[in-house]
Amino acid sequence: MKARFRILVNFVLFLLLSFFYVNGQEKVANYGNIPDEVVAFRKYREAYKYHFIEPMQFYGAGREKPAPTDLEEVRLGFLGPLEGSMIVDLGMQMLQGSMLAIEEANNKGGYNGTPFKLMVHNDFGLWGAAANEVIKMDDEGIWAWVGTIDDINSHVAIRATLKSEILVVNPGNPDPTYTETAIPWVIRVIPDDRQSCYALVNRVYRIDNYPRVAVIRTTGRYGREGTKHFNRTATRLGFPIIIEERFNDGESDFKPQLERIKKISPDAILMWGNARESGLIVKQIRELGMEQPIFGSDRMVSPEFLKIAGKHAEGVVTTCQYNPNTDDPKYKAFKANYVKRFDQEPDVFAAHAYDAINIIIEAIHKVGLNRVLIRDVATDMKTFQGHEGITGIMIFDGAWNNIRPIFMAEVHNGKFEFYPAPPWVQAKQ
């Protein structure tokens, strides 16, 4: 009963926060929606200049170009890890969500009778290859594209999209630095790792009162950038991480790292990695007799994680950028259609890719086939601020990050239960 009451209270708070943000009754004062208490140097002085507050504009030419009249299809691009990557399963989900959105749009008549077509490109992880794929999409005549997930490849790809002047709507890269590039062709619809870190810090230190936390993370950029804001925020609260251990993607034995963590007896453990490695780590933590509460990144919200961790997953707490168990009719219709079409349940990448494609399609319906005008309307805060996707409302900041309130995910009886992340708890005076 207590758990249900807590979920109900948090849900009401989530609705109130969403209403205030969308209706302008509460301004997001800090970039990235960072809590006031942990803004850098706030105790000493105000910043001389704030960045990423005002949206970057595009002042170049292109709006005057007439739309083509002889197209047989309206091409949209896709870039994601589909083969040769550790996260192919995530890329396939993102592709399928994009495909479903395209198919539904074509069932409604496409664009003035002309069908949409998804031009699919593989992001296989080689340095610079992502940029080449964007150039190929440019040659194919796409009007905008969605992708990708890998942090490094996403950064490379948006340099090429800047040169090609093509809008990208990103549904999968959580790297906080992704939009901090002053590139006016980039939108991100999935809340980034800052929102996850602030929610986890709030839960670990303020709600559950665990002052001594150990971190074990993947060595890649996903782990490094993902945990950065957790580490910084915890330190500003006066609780620096007591130990940080690392592992490589693909590893299976984490006992050496866990033995070092065990020796210093932390109050809690934070993990940051993909589902497979995270599941193995949780299992090995418990096999070593370590009973500390475990917190983790959103990629643990996966059937693969639950299968690998088994009974040891019980009680694990992580975040999720949306609520996959929502009763929202639009999401339930999407989920039913997705399961029917692909014979599996959608994940966070499928759902946000579906929203990303639909933003592009809606922009095309509003302004026609002109890359700059599509960019203009998609980045116009008046058009999509407060837009209802299947993943929830979209609340964009000045760098076009979706900073809407996110959810916590907690394993009970072998399944994840979702509830809105509680509001930030201020320190006791």
Q: Name the CA dihedral angle for 392, 397, 400, 406, rounded to a multiple of 10 degrees.
A: -30
Is the whole-model pTM more than 0.85?
Answer: yes
Q: How many CA atoms lie within 13 A of 285 on its CB side?
A: 30
Give the integer Cα–Cα distance in Å for 66 and 425.
53
What tokens were used for 332?
A: 């339930």
Question: Measured between alpha carbons, how far is residue 107 from residues 110, 114, 351, 362, 363 in Å?
Answer: 7, 11, 19, 15, 18
Give the integer Cα–Cα distance in Å for 157 and 135.
9
Delimit the domains of the chain by residue range: 1-60+192-320+405-429, 74-191+328-393
Beta strands 213-218 and 186-188, pairing class: unpaired
- Residue pLDDT tens, the chain, 429 long: 444 544 454 445 444 444 444 444 345 568 788 888 888 777 777 777 777 777 888 888 888 898 898 899 999 999 999 988 888 999 999 999 999 999 999 999 999 999 999 999 998 767 678 889 999 999 999 999 998 898 888 888 999 999 999 999 999 999 988 988 889 999 999 999 999 999 999 999 999 999 999 999 999 888 899 999 999 999 999 999 999 999 999 999 999 999 999 999 999 999 999 999 999 999 999 999 999 999 999 999 999 999 999 999 999 999 999 999 999 999 999 999 999 999 999 999 999 999 999 999 999 999 999 999 999 999 886 777 768 899 998 888 888 999 989 999 999 999 999 999 999 987 775
Identity at 54, one-letter amino acid code: E
**175 and 394 Cβ atoms separated by less than 8 Å:** no
CATH superfamily of 1-60+192-320+405-429: Response regulator (3.40.50.2300)
Report pLDDT for 46. 77
Identity at 109, one-letter amino acid code: G
Identical fold for domains 1-60+192-320+405-429 and 74-191+328-393, yes or no, is yes
Report pLDDT for 195. 92
Report pLDDT for 123. 87
Q: How many helices (H) and strands (E) does the chain have?
A: 13, 14
Report pLDDT for 73. 96
CA Rg value for the chain: 21
Report pLDDT for 13. 47
Give the integer Cα–Cα distance in Å for 126 and 109.
38
Report pLDDT for 29. 64
Regarding the domain delimited by 74-191+328-393, which CATH topology (the fold level of the hierarchy) does it fall under?
Rossmann fold (3.40.50)
CB neighbours of 67 closer than 8 A, spacing ≥ 6? 368, 369, 370
Nearest to 353, CA basis, from 80, 126, 36, 158: 80
| Helices assigned H by DSSP within 170-274 | 193-201, 221-236, 255-263
**242 and 269 Cβ atoms separated by less than 8 Å:** no
**161 and 137 Cβ atoms separated by less than 8 Å:** no
Tell me, rounded to whole angstroms, the distance of Cα 344 from its chain centroid. Answer: 21
Beta strands 74-80 and 144-147, pairing class: parallel
**201 and 240 Cβ atoms separated by less than 8 Å:** no
Give the integer Cα–Cα distance in Å for 52 and 180.
7
CB neighbours of 44 closer than 8 A, spacing ≥ 6? none
Beta strands 388-389 and 392-393, pairing class: antiparallel
**295 and 268 Cβ atoms separated by less than 8 Å:** yes
